[in-house]
Structure 1
Amino acid sequence: MNLRNRLGVGVVIAAVTTLSIAGCSSGGTVASGGTGSNKKLVFIQGEAPNNFYISMKCGVESAAKRAGYTVTTQGGQKFDPTLQLPIVQSVLANKPTALIIAPTDTSALQQPLQQAVTNGTKLVLVDTTLDTPSIAFSSIASDNKGGGAAAFQAIKKLAPNGGKVLVIDNQPGISTSQERTQGFADGVKTDPKFKNLGVQYAQDDSTKAAQVVSAALQRNRDIVGIFATNVHSAVGAATGVQQAGKTGKVQVVTFDAGPDQVSALKDGTIQALIAQQPEKIGEEGAKAAIAALEGKPFAKNIATGFSIITKADLNSPTSQAALYKSSCS
């Protein structure tokens, strides 16, 4: 069955939707990074082992290679500002001409990145953002609020009689998941048959997410749906539902489409995946950084699309193309 009809979610799988073409950045004159041996970009991931950021790295490297640039990529082992800040400080000490980064906290990264821009670094934000994102030459991210709304519509389709729903998130202060939870909450408000139990945090730890879900299901045996906002929350939520003997009774819809989530989708512990376009985000991030260095215009804000994948259409070419990569080879 067609995915769109099955879930009843009006999702447009857009390659790139420009939100603010009118507000293009000019980038000024050609910087040193756009000439000769200085054609170098630096990419700092939100979390290096994460398939989402691995796919994004592939996009950055592909676009850079086509333009004759090289890329140095670094990232912490977890999505944690205390791990990312030392990496940022080390990178900035070398005064990079262009930096592409997924900030792990909206406020903790604001000051060092502001200083980098003041010192002449061209800044591009990918996936996540800052309290004051205007300091960046360009920002590229998924339509996270729309994805959160789509997650509720998916649960609504799977549990039409309504009931209690719960959100499992990483931690406060992350722009992307805040938008996802807001989109989900706004969706719940449109249907009185559903009650939102709010957000619980798992600190990007699948084991903790499983514990949170298990405890929540013990307290609220009538939960009908769980929305997990990222990879680790998703895997943990699926485990928690399985351990509680609620597989198939509690509908789990998650952001991202990494290998563990795909396995859970096949097993039936996850019912739907909202797959982002991390490779496209990386490609646009590299293009923006190169445009900044070469003094060319580029959109100030770009929103990439997403698709919803279910077990029924997992093997379709469209769904297979949306799954995240484990390597760039």
Structure 2
Amino acid sequence: MTRQLPSRRRFFGLAAGFGVSAGLLGACSRGGAGASEIVVSFNDLSQPFFVAMRRELEDEATKLGVKVQVLDAQNNSSKQIADLEAAAVQGAKVVIVAPTDSKALATAADELTKQGVAVISVDRNIAGAKTPVPHIGADNVAGGRAMADWVVKTYPGGARVVVITNDPGSSSSIERVKGVHEGLAAGGAGFKIVTEQTANSKRDQALTVTQNVLTSMHDTPPDVILCLNDDMAMGALEAVRAAGFPSNRIKVLGFDAIPEALARIKAGEMVASVEQNPGQQIRTALRQAVDKIKTGAAPKSVSLTPVLITSANLAEASRIAEVK
């Protein structure tokens, strides 16, 4: 059954119930389009990756002279859907969204499209919508495969690998896992995933997951821990260090190339992270949103090529200047 958008009165009540207020809707810039014409919904602004993406958004909004409203879904699909519905009633013309769950927002995206609101996804795509949603993001399958390729190259005789996944149901998690599996399978039977668990993109959860893994595998520890975001990699590094393993005995790789991860790579504590350039993603999405409002130009999908950042190419990282 197609979900109907609630009435205007019910809409605002629903939005209020989910905390869509001036406190959560932050104007990022000045002048230009009206404050509610462009709305950006991040799935979870407690994650460093999306904090960095928001910072890039604010800078681009200032350069373009437009106002943008920012919403934090707090990793809750129901809240994100209600937030976006409320944004449409309040007059949004374009919605940029990093979805909490790739499939959960399909119906909401279709309803927004019916109302004439353009929808653009960033970082994570929206799957299953009747009207395809243009997506701007990195090729996450390629990113996962780059992590696996590093393992295969570094351990030609085979390796025991732990995979710690990010948000279940998100396209980024599904696609990165696919890339990791494909890359390790291509390396041959010597490459074994000894356990694969989610830590929901959280540092503290990754710490706990890694502690449990290292306790259960103390006599035969993994060679590599692949964390599908950098915040989880920070937790894994802490667990490895606390467990007392020799330096570099267990290699930790992350994904996102946040400044803290780049600093850890520079210090030799972490071996690699996948750069997917959140700045280019959100800046491109915002430019397309502004073009849509000004000229009617339909937004288009853009696929970025991720790069595995190691100590060998650290100087090429797009945010290297932020490494202390």
Q: TM-score range by the shorter chain?
A: 0.7 to 0.9
Q: Does 1:119 align with 2:118?
A: no
Counterpart of 2:102 (choices 106, 110, 130) is 106
Which residue identity is paired with 1:282?
I
Instruction: Give per-residue Cα distances to partners, 1:44-68, cap 9 Å, x unaligned.
Output: 1122243322332344344444444
Which residue identity is paired with 1:94?
Q
Cα distance in 2, alignment partners of residues 109 and 325 from structure 1: 34
Asked if 2 retains the 8 angstrom alpha-carbon contact of 1:41 and 1:97, the reply is: yes
Aligned to 1:74: 71
Cα distance in 2, alignment partners of residues 205 and 38 from structure 1: 32
Asked if 2 retains the 8 angstrom alpha-carbon contact of 1:43 and 1:73, the reply is: yes
Aligned to 1:46: 43
Q: Which moved more, 1:178-187 or 1:304-313?
A: 304-313
SS in 2 for 1:308: strand
Normalising by structure 1, report the TM-score: 0.77
Instruction: Give per-residue Cα distances to partners, 1:113-137, cap 9 Å, x unaligned.
Output: 2212211111111111122256355
Map 1:224-235 onto structure 2 (within 5 A): 224-235=223-234
Aligned to 1:97: 93
Higher RCO (Cα < 8 Å, 6 or more apart): 1
Cα distance in 1, alignment partners of residues 164 and 321 from structure 2: 21
- What's the CA shift for 1:80? 3.8
- What's the CA shift for 1:208? 1.7
Normalising by structure 2, report the TM-score: 0.78
SS in 2 for 1:223: coil
Instruction: Return closer, same or farther for 1:293/1:135 CA change in 2, 3 Å cut-off.
Output: farther
- What's the CA shift for 1:112? 2.2
Asked if 1 retains the 8 angstrom alpha-carbon contact of 2:223 and 2:249, the reply is: yes
> What is the percentage of aligned positions where both structures have the same residue?
24
SS in 2 for 1:130: coil
- What's the CA shift for 1:172? 1.8
- What's the CA shift for 1:306? 2.4
Question: How many corresponding residue pairs?
Answer: 288
Instruction: Return closer, same or farther for 1:270/1:213 CA change in 2, 3 Å cut-off.
Output: same
Instruction: Return closer, same or farther for 1:68/1:136 CA change in 2, 3 Å cut-off.
Output: farther
Cα distance in 1, alignment partners of residues 37 and 126 from structure 2: 24
- What's the CA shift for 1:109? 1.9
Gaps of 5+ in 1: 1-34
Asked if 1 retains the 8 angstrom alpha-carbon contact of 2:162 and 2:194, the reply is: yes
Cα distance in 2, alignment partners of residues 155 and 144 from structure 1: 17
- C-alpha root-mean-square deviation of aligned residues, in Å? 2.7
Gaps of 5+ in 2: 1-31
Which residue identity is paired with 1:101?
V
- What's the CA shift for 1:105? 0.5
Asked if 2 retains the 8 angstrom alpha-carbon contact of 1:166 and 1:196, the reply is: yes
